[in-house]
A = this chain, B = another copy of it.
């Protein structure tokens, strides 16, 4: 070690002598201000404590040094003076010392100049050092300046901080750019020595990054510290990062608060100083969101236009209530008995209730069917307390689950749990219902059991009362799991039977009355609290409703029956009345302006149709109208997600597509260029259904049939072709997983020989029983660890943990957006969706009592190199500038490379492997020269969330491969060529 230092010195400086210095453990850095005239007189102006350093750079200085024993202090002062006298020092200077923990002081050097922190001494002694320098240089004596040692004394304490643009989170690298806003503090004991800090100034990397020196003084240390903290808080510096948050953290750190018990490496030794949350102002992030919306256009996926509602929402008047009581949530309703006496008593009371009970789906299924599930929490919460009063006779409000979980994270950057908790607080009296997709909770794939259990436990905690559990194949084992998870969580288990076919039509096999009665019996034995009939495609005709409910009621007189339908064919109201008359206890309805067509039947229609009958719902017509006038506006507000279905369609009885899928498939097939084969798709949908064994079709099973249908159409396959060539066709991923049993067992079993042909050719294993059973339990601890490591402990809670478990990727993007735009849930939807125009201004409360007035003032010109723009706002009158990347202007400049035309695979040449349909290559499983057998996977493609494996069509050696990962192909494009082994 020693000799290495010697040889290094030799080569760099030409000689090898070295000095050994003693190592001091956590020393303090004390310096003494000296002043000497040209006639040998020397005085000291006391000491300064500069122990707060970062890599030997002073950060905070103060005077006098507080926790030095008095004699040590005086010793240092006299030594400094003696030293200066001995060398005949002239004018101003600073003697620097290190003091170790045993208070032994060591001299370091004298700085022959005025130092940055000389202001501390000036405030303590009231002497102007710079003026003294000049006068001494002009030949004045200390005495003539009245600078006699005994008459100079220290008053109070002074602290100095340098306000710089160093960014602690980027390792104190100074930030540069234009200062948008600069305001400095004032007041008692605050002294500022200005640098280049003012509004509009441009800080460049060529100069020191100091903005201003702030020196604060007070009678004692604590006072001075307080003054400093206030001054720091009053600084407004926008547009550049500053070290203010860091210094603030420093001054609040307990070690510092105890009278500055710090040492030179204090900062380097306490890393949590760096953690101080870069609070970064929320308002600044909000402006970033608004700026991007104004320049780059719509930010929410699926938004087609600007909302039709461009005025403020008018709250309805409730003539049957006095205004005051509506301010607080109602406390009486069906939830009371559930909370106080549990599910069984709740169900018994429901069963005994003479009138028909209704569940309002406006908060979930209605906007899922009509507005692509885009309604935000703020728009539901706004009407929640009023709803708790006027709808206190509701059986429940369906407000959670289904696609809302996924959509609020993915598209609305809202936390679904927050929504649940918010609504629960506002509506404590009406039961909340959620839709649970049996084994896959609220997702599209199966999850390990402990995820489902954990999910239900948390959902119950946050306010879900009734869980509607369904399985897309009515597969009882999946249903069983859901039921167990719900009961374990203490919720009301409402098992749903997905209804399909038409039992009023004797020759519509195999879904006959008996099938549903058997399934009902099985579920009752499984210990459900409520049975639901889920008519997701609106196939339940009035007659069928009477037959089914009548029969179930006869077999289970005490069972609470809940009927759910969609009004796709226009028979919704008639069927619900028929169901009610046949003995149903509860039916689903949506508020008038959110009802009809692919949504639920109209609430107003049902209540008024049953008014004054034994089935009277007890819901008052005026209240419905008042609530309705509110949702009328909400519907216009979300008109940009409204697919504008004009009227009902009774063709649904044939193709049996559930509500959502119908519009999606229609929408997709136009874009994939399969437009005029829409009829072919409807026909193929029925054939695919048969090939799957005529199954119930709801998410995700409806997706399997949909993918299957598209596959048959794009490959021009008839039923016969599928059966004959099942071993070499490359089916969609979801179809293969279905035949493997990942969704469970279909109601009437698989068509076995077709299934075996498909699986054996690809030696894919069959999954017996419940698919989730074979999944290893989910490891929450491990997940928690990496979340901690990624976001830090305080930035996620136990519910985020679950969201991350269910949607890892979606959760990630959600956190990113929150980090970029901050929490936008208080932003009114109108401005969440509508791009601001220059000169437009709006006001809203971002938090209780904090009102923001936002105005877009100007959109700056495009900066060609960085393709960014400066966007000018005024926020509460303050000018603000946000710089964003303009992704629109140069995107549609000419030159984006077009799809080059690619060679097609020649079906007559067996060795040429073509793309089964148009999509994107996500994986290549082979490379040139590999040997393959028939059925070996060659590539994986994906289109519209559907993955397909492309397999080898003959045995041989892979010749040339014509595609790369991420290429987008159209049907029959050549992927690879297989050459015979010669």
Measured CB to CB, the residues of A under 8 A from B are 504-506, 541-543, 569-571, 573-575, 577, 592-597, 601-605, 607-613, 621-622, 624-625, 628, 632, 635, 646-651, 653-654
Contacts of A504 in B (CB 8 A): 611-613
The answer for the CA separation of A541 and B616 in the assembled complex, in Å, is 13
A604 and B649: CB pair below 8 A? yes
Most buried by B among A592, A609, A654: A609
In the bound assembly, the distance between CA atoms of A592 and B596 in angstroms comes to 13
Q: A653 — which chain B residues lie within 8 A by C-beta? A: 608, 621
A621 and B605 contact, CB distance less than 8 A: no
Q: Shortest distance in angstroms between A717's beta carbon and chain B's nearest beta carbon?
A: 21
Residues of B within 8 A of A625 (CB): 650-651, 654
Residue among B597, B602, B647 making CB contact with A569, cutoff 8 Å: B602
Complexed CA–CA distance, A455 and B95 (Å): 120
Residue pair B611, A648 in contact (C-beta under 8 Å): no
**A648 & B541 in contact (Cβ 8 Å cutoff):** no
Residue in B605, B621, B646, B648 whose beta carbon sits within 8 Å of that of A571 in the complex? B605
Q: Which single member of B542, B569, B595, B596 contacts A604 (CB below 8 Å)?
A: B569
State which of B506, B543, B602 has its C-beta within 8 Å of the C-beta of A648: B602
| A647: contacting residue among B575, B595, B607, CB under 8 A | B595
Which residue in B571, B611, B613 is a CB contact (below 8 Å) of A609?
Answer: B571
Copies per complex?
2
Would you call B574 and A650 a contact (CB within 8 A)?
A: no
Contact (Cβ within 8 A) B569 A608: yes
A624 to B653, CA, bound (A): 12
B543 touches A601 (CB 8 A): no
Residue of B nearest to A626 (CB): B651
- Report A653 CB to chain B, min CB distance, Å: 5
The CA-CA distance from A841 to B43 in the complex, in Å, is 102
Query: A940 to B628, alpha carbons, bound, how many Å?
Result: 41
Tell me what chain A mostly uses at the interface: helix, strand, loop, or mixed. Answer: helix
A624 touches B650 (CB 8 A): yes
B628 and A649: CB pair below 8 A? yes
Q: Are B609 and A574 in contact (CB under 8 A)?
A: yes
In the complex, chain B residues whose CB is within 8 Å of the CB of A595: 570, 647-648
Of B541, B608, B635, B650, the residue contacting A650 (CB under 8 A) is B608
Tell me how far the C-beta of A220 lies from the nearest C-beta in chain B, rounded to whole angstroms. Answer: 64
CA distance A603 to B570 in the complex (A): 9
In the complex, the answer to whether B650 meets A601 with C-beta atoms within 8 Å is: no
Residue of B nearest to A605 (CB): B570
A575 to B609, CA, bound (A): 9
- The answer to whether A605 and B650 have CB atoms under 8 Å apart is yes
Shortest CB distance A617–B (Å): 12
Given A570-B604, A571-B605, A621-B653, 10 more A-B residue pairs with CB atoms under 8 Å apart are A541-B611, A543-B613, A569-B602, A573-B573, A574-B609, A592-B649, A593-B649, A624-B650, A635-B646, A635-B647
Cβ contact within 8 Å between B650 and A571: no
Contacts A602-B570, A612-B504; A592 near B650 (Cβ below 8 A): yes
Minimum Cβ distance to chain B for residue A513 (Å): 14
Q: A575 contacts which chain B residues (CB < 8 A)?
A: 609
| A647 in contact with B593 (CB, 8 Å) | yes
List 9 A-B residue pairs with CB atoms under 8 Å apart, sorted by A's residue number: A541-B611, A542-B577, A570-B592, A570-B595, A592-B647, A604-B649, A605-B650, A621-B654, A635-B646
CA A601 – CA B569 in complex, angstroms? Answer: 11
> In the complex, A829 Cα to B236 Cα: how many Å?
65
Min Cβ gap A436→B in Å is 29
A504 to B616, CA, bound (A): 12
**Which of B569, B611, B632 is within 8 Å of A605, CB to CB?**
B569
Taking a contact as CB atoms under 8 Å apart, the answer to whether A570 and B601 are in contact is: yes
Flag if B594 contacts A647 (CB, 8 Å). Answer: yes
A141 smallest CB distance to B (angstroms): 85
B602 touching A650 by the CB < 8 A rule?
A: yes
Docked pose: A570 CA to B604 CA in angstroms: 8
**Interface contact B648-A604, CB-CB below 8 Å:** yes
Chain B residues with CB below 8 A from A648, complex form: 592, 595-596, 602, 604-605
Given A543-B613, A596-B648, A648-B596, residue A571 in contact with residue B570 (CB < 8 A): no
Q: Which residue of B lies closest to A650 (CB)?
A: B604
A605 and B573 CA atoms in complex are apart in Å by 11
- Least Cβ–Cβ distance between A214 and chain B, in angstroms: 56
Instruction: Report the nearest B residue to A639, measured CB to CB.
Output: B646
> Given the complex of chains A and B, what is the CA–CA distance between A593 and B649 in angstroms?
7
A596 to B569, CA, bound (A): 11
Q: How far is the CA of A597 from the CA of B646 in the complex (A)?
A: 10
The interface residues of chain B lying within 8 Å CB-to-CB of A610 are 543
A872 to B574, CA, bound (A): 58
Please report the C-alpha to C-alpha distance between residue A913 and residue B593 in the assembled complex, in whole angstroms.
45
How far does the alpha carbon of A978 sit from the alpha carbon of B364 in the complex, in Å? Answer: 65
Inter-chain contacts of A654 with B (CB < 8 A): 621-622, 625
CB distance from A374 to the nearest CB of B (A): 16
Contact of A574 among B574, B624, B647 (CB under 8 A): B574
Distance between A683 CB and nearest chain B CB, rounded to angstroms: 10
Contacts of A611 in B (CB 8 A): 504-505, 541
Closest-CB distance, A931 to chain B (whole angstroms): 50
A43 to chain B, nearest CB (A): 82
Contacts of A605 in B (CB 8 A): 569-571, 574, 648, 650
Point out the residues of chain B lying under 8 angstroms from A632, CB to CB. Answer: 646
Chain B neighbourhood of A592, CB < 8 A: 570, 647-650
Shortest distance between the CB of A627 and any CB in chain B (Å): 12
When distances are taken between beta carbons in the complex, the residues of chain B under 8 Å from A649 are: 592-593, 604, 628
> Which residue of B has the minimal Cβ distance to A574?
B574
Contacts of A624 in B (CB 8 A): 650
A855 CB to nearest chain B CB (Å):
27
Measured CB to CB, the closest approach of chain B to A730, in angstroms, equals 32
Which single residue of chain B is at the shortest CB-CB distance from A591?
Answer: B647
Chain B residues with Cβ under 8 A from A541's Cβ? 608-609, 611
Cα–Cα distance between A575 and B608 once the two chains are bound (Å):
12
Please give me the residue from chain B that is nearest to A651 by CB atom: B625
A700 to chain B, nearest CB (A): 27
Question: A543 is contacted by which of B573, B593, B604, B609 (Cβ under 8 Å)?
Answer: B609
- Output the least CB separation between A41 and chain B (Å): 87
- Residues of B contacting A596 in the complex (Cβ-Cβ under 8 angstroms): 570, 596-597, 647-648
A649 and B592 CA atoms in complex are apart in Å by 6
User: Contact check: which of B505, B574, B608 meets A577 at CB < 8 Å?
Assistant: B574
The residues of B that contact A613 with a CB separation of less than 8 Å are 504, 543
Residue of B nearest to A508 (CB): B612
Q: How far is the CB of A842 from chain B (nearest CB, A)?
A: 21
Distance of A596 from chain B, by nearest CB (Å): 5
Determine the chain B residues whose CB is within 8 A of the CB of A612 once the complex forms: 504-506, 543
A789 to B594, CA, bound (A): 59
* Cβ of A77 to closest chain B Cβ, rounded Å: 81
| Residues of chain B lying within 8 A (CB to CB) of residue A573 | 570-571, 573-574
A635–B624 CA distance with the chains assembled, in angstroms: 31
Name the residue on B nearest A567 (C-beta). B570
A647 contact set on B, CB distance < 8 A: 592-596, 602, 635
Residue of B nearest to A648 (CB): B602
Check A604/B646 contact, CB under 8 A, given A571-B573, A573-B573, A574-B574: no
Name, among A543, A594, A607, the residue most crowded by chain B CB atoms within 10 Å (CB to CB): A543
Which residues of the other chain, B, contact A597 by a CB distance below 8 angstroms? 596
Distance in angstroms from A477 CB to nearest chain B CB is 34
* A651 contacts across to B, CB distance below 8 A: 604, 621, 625, 628
Report the separation of the CA atoms of residues A646 and B636 in the bound assembly, to the nearest whole angstrom: 9
Contacting residues, chain B, for A646 (C-beta < 8 A): 593, 632, 635
**Closest B residue by C-beta to A507:** B612
Rounded to whole Å, the gap between the CB of A379 and the closest CB of chain B is: 17
Among B571, B601, B602, B607, point to the contact of A608 (Cβ < 8 A): B571
With a 10 A CB-CB cut-off, give which of A596, A648, A650, A651 has the most chain B CB atoms.
A650
A778 → chain B, closest Cβ, in Å? 43
CA distance A741 to B473 in the complex (A): 67
Complex-state Cα separation, A290 to B593, whole angstroms: 40
Cα separation A610 to B505 with both chains bound (whole Å)? 11
Please list the 5 inter-chain residue pairs (A to B) with the smallest Cβ-Cβ separation, ordered nearest first: A604-B650, A570-B605, A570-B602, A574-B574, A571-B605
